[in-house]
Chains A and B, each alone.
Chain A
Amino acid sequence: MVVKIRVENVSFNYDSIKALENITFEIDKNILGIIGPNGSGKTTLLKCISSILKPVTGTILLDNNELSTLNRKEIAKIIGVVPQTANITFPLTVIDIVLMGRNPHKKRLEFETEKDIRIAENSLKATGIHHLANRLITELSGGELQKVIVARALAQEPKILLLDEPTAHLDIHYQLEILEFIRNLNAEKKLTVISVFHDLNLAARFCDKLILLNDGKIYSIGNTDEVLIAENIRNVYKVNVKIEKHPVTGRPNVILISPVNNGDSYV
């Protein structure tokens, strides 16, 4: 069951500073990447979709339900979120953390049933860390920890997965491994994925569609190869780039050249 997200005219301000202005788009069953420079509103947009922030104007629809009419448990059954880093400094076991993902499906005092434990175990198996189940979360490496967080989001059995630079602090092996895994999820479980990226090449490699944000507005939206063109990058990021086809994957590959100086004329 694919859930369609529709973002309509969403605007958001931090006090008097405009963070998002009239964002409108629609997405289902694809992997959507959100890119843009620092302060362009990527994370704010993600927070609006995950209902951490309430848009000042505009609406967000999950299928035909308005997000603001759902309570947190209902939202958590539909949307799973993987933050940039999980800051967990107390010694719970991995399986305890993953079982927290079952919370939206449980009553307050209800203990986990065998079904919950099975679901948690399956998410651990899917992310390839079943052998860590009884280890303490404080003893894991950054890459393992991020997999635990992905497994917890999966244990929610969400229809939509939101990721905020999920691989920002990981080495290249974990970066590719986790993103490949998420793409498989998208293909197999028909999970809609929205992810913020800083690394343009990772975005190019994994996303079907991209939104390029600039100053809280959508500068460009469309298929990855339509958005990721040298002119857009130059105008938004102020960087000269050359974009080629990746010789192996066939995806766009961004080669950085130089920052645009003030003296340079814009194309």
Chain B
Amino acid sequence: MEKTYYRKRIRWLTIIIGLSIALLFTVLFALMTGVMGPIGNGIPGIDKISFRAVFEILLGKGNWPDTYKTIILKIRLPRIILAGLVGSALAVAGCAMQGLFRNPMASPYILGASSGAAFGASLVIVLGLSIFGIYTMQLSAFIFAVQAVFVVYNIARCKGRTPVETLLLAGIAVGCFFSALVSFMKYISGEELRSIVFWLMGGFWSATWDKVYAIFPLIILGVGVLLFFSKALNIMLTGESTAMHLGIEVENMKRIVLIFSTLITAAAVSVSGIIGFVGLIIPHVMRIIVGPDHRILLPSSCITGAIFLILADTLTRSIIEPTELPVGIVTALLGAPFFLYLLRRKKKVKWW
């Protein structure tokens, strides 16, 4: 039996190392790929920057044209890191929510974070606010996302307990309320309608290093804290009262998991808009592949979420040149069929 356990840990380590290597290659591939327009060696359209060029520019060596350096270091790299962070955050938050609620339909947006953020962003767009400079919209989206979940949590709280059913229902109701407000904003907007619609579809076209710096600490902290709870999330799968019998402070844990899931979701949404699918499906895909134990499920979802969103974003900026698709469209168009394929193939195994 100790041997089986030893083997399991080796297997987990192999999965994590394998996925990390895959992530590294995804990043390099994404750095090489994309539209360069007229500066691409005089050839308009797609032009790959060679692997060697990417590698040497990252290390600050070699004699490559400044345009290359600008494209790699100022345009693509922050965008790729941002997509990776957002993908990780959404996948981990989704995984934690599904575990906490013991509900396969749960996603990072289930408690109204996305609708809150959408309202926050559209409010700024329509009113043309710029109290906090160019990042007013991001800040407003973040604040409203957190505040929506805060409202939901306090509505669902009763006599020191927060039943998950009430949380889910309150989340749906508050989400509908904010969605209606967003619709109202769209209705009264004129020229800005296009901006709102684009923001709602989600994307990384305005990625900057500033945004990376802003969300990096939040997401690393949040993901770290949630990983800390992986064993407790396993035990929560056996039901709340059983979890109490096994020594889990259930209400405490619920609060902490919700706070940090919400923080990373809000951080992700504030810089990228509402990217669906990643937070719902990546945890399911990983559950099929690595199993339901959160000690491997959370970290592997984290890495896979990053890989998936970086690939999807790379596709959005190279598929229709010279423009690009909103990444939310690509994630669902690619991810849904793949997920359905896995679902059919593993039909015999009850994985939830």
Contacts and interface: CB of A to CB of B under 8 A. Distances in A.
Given A90-B351, A96-B293, A76 B9 contact: no
Nearest to A104: B247
Interface string A84-95: 001111111001
A152 B234 CA distance: 14
A88 B4 contact: no
Given A72-B248, A101-B246, A108-B228, A90 B1 contact: no
Nearest to B242: A83
A81 B246 CA distance: 9
A138 B292 CA distance: 12
Interface string B227-267: 01101101101110110111111000000000000000000
B253 to A, nearest CB: 10
Contacts of B231: 103, 106, 108-109
A88 B9 CA distance: 24
Contacts of B191: none
A76 B245 contact: yes
Contacts of B1: 95, 117, 121, 133
A47 B242 CA distance: 11
Given A89-B350, A91-B349, A100 B235 contact: yes
Chain A, interface size category, equals 35 or more
Contacts of A75: 247
B237 A88 contact: yes
B291 interface: yes
B292 A90 contact: yes
Interface in A44-89: 47, 50-52, 71-73, 75-77, 79-81, 83, 86-89
B247 A73 contact: yes
B245 A91 contact: no
A76 B241 contact: no
A117 B228 CA distance: 22
B49 to A, nearest CB: 41
A111 interface: yes
Nearest to A73: B247
A112 interface: yes
A46 B104 CA distance: 31
A51 B244 contact: yes
Contact of A117 (B2, B239, B293): B2
Contacts of A81: 242, 245
B132 interface: no
B2 A91 contact: no
Contact of A72 (B5, B247, B291, B350): B247
Nearest to B237: A90
Nearest to B235: A100
A223 interface: no
Interface string B57-77: 000000000000000000000
A114 interface: yes
Given A77-B247, A92-B293, 6 more contacts: A72-B247, A72-B248, A88-B237, A92-B237, A108-B228, A109-B231
27 contacts: A47-B241, A52-B241, A72-B249, A73-B247, A75-B247, A76-B245, A76-B246, A79-B245, A80-B245, A81-B242, A81-B245, A83-B241, A86-B239, A89-B350, A89-B352, A90-B350, A96-B293, A100-B235, A103-B235, A103-B246, A103-B247, A103-B248, A106-B231, A108-B228, A109-B231, A114-B2, A138-B350
Interface of B: 1-2, 4-5, 9, 228-229, 231-232, 234-235, 237-239, 241-242, 244-249, 291-293, 349-352
A-B pairs, top 3 by smallest CB distance, nearest first, are A76-B247, A104-B247, A73-B247
